[in-house]
Amino acid sequence: MLTRLLHRLAQALIVFGVSTGLASAWPMPKGEGLKTLRKECTRCHALRNIVNADGRARAEWEKHVVDMTDIERRPEAMKAVVDYLTEHFPPGY
């Protein structure tokens, strides 16, 4: 009885892990900056927020990133993230 319960629990965890893993990996195009973005931006919400938004011009992404994180203190990381967002998520992309 207990074994069966544990088995079910393990199964549920595996299914959960696989589905959340896919969901976060699926929509984002590869590119420099993605690693930092993934780390910084998922502290508060899913990357899906970025994919689902309408896209922005560079200056708007910059403002957004500064408002939400303190990546601007690391100019290289900041540039990589803003480059990535500008390239892959321009206005109305």
Based on the shown chain and the rule CB under 6 A, indicate whether residue 81 belongs to the binding site for ligand HEC.
yes
CB 48 within 8 A of CB 25: no
CB 61 within 8 A of CB 84: no
Stretch that binds ligand HEC, among 1-9, 13-21, 22-30, 44-52 (CB under 6 A): 44-52
Stretch that binds ligand HEC, among 5-13, 16-24, 43-51, 72-80 (CB under 6 A): 43-51
The residues in 12-41 that bind ligand HEC, with binding defined as CB under 6 A, are 37, 40-41
Q: How many residues does the chain have?
A: 93
Tracing tokens 């927020």 back to the chain, one arrives at 49
CA dist., res. 30 & res. 23, Å (int): 15
Question: Within a 13 Å sphere around the CA of 80, how many CA atoms are in the beta-carbon half?
Answer: 17
Based on the shown chain and the rule CB under 6 A, indicate whether residue 68 belongs to the binding site for ligand HEC.
yes
Binding-site size for ligand HEC (CB under 6 A) equals 15
Chain contacts with ligand HEC (rule: CB under 6 A): 37, 40-41, 43-45, 49-50, 53, 64-65, 68-69, 81, 85
